[in-house]
């Protein structure tokens, strides 16, 4: 395993950006880069300690590279804001990459240069040597999941700026999947999960078929779609089971069945045994992995 430490504004949002991505083994919110030993949320927010709100993650480099970790990081921040992130102002909300080796420093600098080349303006994100990292209070760990309603309402204010920045550059820097948007890349290639109730097809009731975003191969039919109440598009069965691969997935500490498009290898979602008749199955999928073609 390797370790990476990044500061992307509020650490709730930085943690959310890296959840459920293949190869990410652990995520910890904390404080780093300041002058005070054992800082607290209150002392950091006072602006007197010089600490950043940061995320420390461990990852398997055979499944996700450090460069890919940085790709996810850039796509969830405003790299041109020198005074914080979005509505959060102050040193603790500024962005930074903390390198732990000569290799990480080189990759961080090259990654930063690629973003500057993409936009044609200087990036304000600092690249700094790793400093002591202090664990944040328990309430901040996994806040995006334990307080999901409050978190989603808080993060909603970031979306317009992120869309303005990154929608014009759908290519993830340095990656060959040039036809994918950042969210599609994160879901299909890094086994990420899009937000519930905030995706394209969770409540779509129109007749048609849902095809693989990469190959255009029809995978699911609207006649097999049902409202699962989960906020993701759900189906009782695929159009042709031979087009789908089911794999065991225990990354979250519990046994789940991952659903993969066999031809493209794209991650689609997960399969659960709690669906309605006639199959009793629930194929819980990500809209970002699919494209809908209307019957009309």
Q: Are residues 162 and 274 in the same domain?
A: no
Which pLDDT tens digit goes with each residue over 40-63?
999 999 988 999 999 999 998 877
Asked if residue 278 has a cis previous peptide bond (ω within 30° of 0), the answer is yes
Q: Are residues 259 and 138 in the same domain?
A: no
CATH of the domain at 53: 3.30.1060.10
CATH of the domain at 266: 2.170.150.20
Residue 130 belongs to a domain: yes
> What integer pLDDT is reported at residue 179 of this predicted model?
54
Distance CA 33, CA 55 (A): 12
Q: Which residues in the chain come in under a pLDDT of 70?
A: 169-181, 252
Q: Are residues 10 and 119 in the same domain?
A: yes
> What integer pLDDT is reported at residue 173 of this predicted model?
42
Q: Are residues 162 and 273 in the same domain?
A: no
Catalytic residue of the set 13, 29, 144, 284: 284
Q: Are residues 156 and 62 in the same domain?
A: yes
Give the CA radius of gyration of the chain.
Answer: 20
Find, among 34, 35, 31, 27, the residue nearest to 53 by Cα.
31
Which of 167, 192, 226 delimits the end of a domain? Answer: 167
Q: What is the pTM assigned to this prediction?
A: 0.63
> What integer pLDDT is reported at residue 175 of this predicted model?
47
**Do strands 234-235 and 225-226 pair parallel, antiparallel, or not at all (unpaired)?**
antiparallel
Q: Are residues 54 and 158 in the same domain?
A: yes
> What integer pLDDT is reported at residue 176 of this predicted model?
39
Residue 192 belongs to a domain: no
Domain with 290 in it: 208-294
Listed in sequence order, the DSSP H helices in 90-133 are 102-119
Q: Are residues 230 and 96 in the same domain?
A: no
- Catalytic (active site) residue 284: yes
Interior angle at CA 11, CA 120 and CA 39, nearest 5: 120
Contacts 24+ apart (CB under 8 A), 242-250: 243/217, 243/219, 244/219, 244/268, 246/271
Residue 200 belongs to a domain: no
- Catalytic (active site) residue 179: no
Q: Are residues 114 and 213 in the same domain?
A: no
Which pLDDT tens digit goes with each residue over 159-172?
889 888 987 765 44
Q: Are residues 13 and 90 in the same domain?
A: yes
> What integer pLDDT is reported at residue 118 of this predicted model?
81
- 66: helix, strand or coil: helix
Q: Are residues 59 and 10 in the same domain?
A: yes
- Report the number of distinct structural domains present in the chain: 2
Residue 253 belongs to a domain: yes
Distance CA 5, CA 7 (A): 7
Residue 212 belongs to a domain: yes
Q: Are residues 132 and 217 in the same domain?
A: no
Q: Are residues 139 and 213 in the same domain?
A: no
Q: CB-based contacts of 148: which residues, under 8 Å, 6+ apart?
A: none
Distance CA 108, CA 131 (A): 16
Catalytic residue of the set 10, 13, 29, 144: 10
Residue 47 belongs to a domain: yes
Residue 202 belongs to a domain: no
Residue 187 belongs to a domain: no
The size of the chain, in residues, is 296
């Amino acid at each position: 395993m390797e370790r990476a430490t990044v500061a992307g504004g509020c650490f709730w949002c930085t943690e959310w950006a890296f959840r459920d991505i293949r190869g990410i083994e652990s995520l910890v919110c904390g404080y780093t880069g300041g002058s005070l030993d054992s800082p607290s949320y209150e002392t950091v927010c006072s602006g007197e300690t010089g600490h950043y709100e940061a995320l420390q993650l461990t990852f398997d480099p055979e499944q996700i590279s450090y460069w890919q970790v940085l790709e996810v990081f850039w796509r969830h921040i405003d790299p041109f804001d020198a005074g914080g992130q979005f509505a959060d102002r102050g040193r603790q909300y500024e962005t930074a990459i903390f390198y732990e080796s000569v290799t990480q420093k080189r990759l961080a600098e090259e990654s930063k240069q690629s973003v500057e080349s993409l936009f044609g303006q200087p990036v304000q994100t600092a690249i700094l040597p790793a400093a002591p990292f202090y664990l944040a209070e328990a309430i901040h760990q996994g806040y995006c999941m334990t307080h999901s309603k409050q978190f989603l309402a808080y993060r909603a204010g970031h979306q317009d700026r992120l869309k303005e920045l990154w929608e014009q550059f759908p290519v993830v820097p340095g990656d060959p999947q040039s036809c994918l948007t950042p969210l599609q890349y994160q879901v299909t290639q890094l086994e990420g999960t899009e937000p519930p109730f905030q995706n394209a097809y969770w409540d779509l009731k129109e007749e048609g078929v849902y095809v693989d975003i990469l190959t255009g191969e029809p995978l699911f039919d609207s006649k097999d779609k049902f409202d699962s109440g989960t906020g993701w598009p759900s189906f009782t069965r695929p159009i042709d089971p031979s087009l789908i691969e089911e794999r065991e997935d225990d990354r979250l500490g519990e046994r789940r069945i991952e659903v993969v498009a066999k031809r493209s290898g794209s991650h689609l979602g997960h399969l659960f045994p709690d669906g309605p008749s006639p199959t009793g199955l629930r194929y819980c999928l990500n809209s970002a992995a699919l494209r809908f073609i209307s019957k009309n």
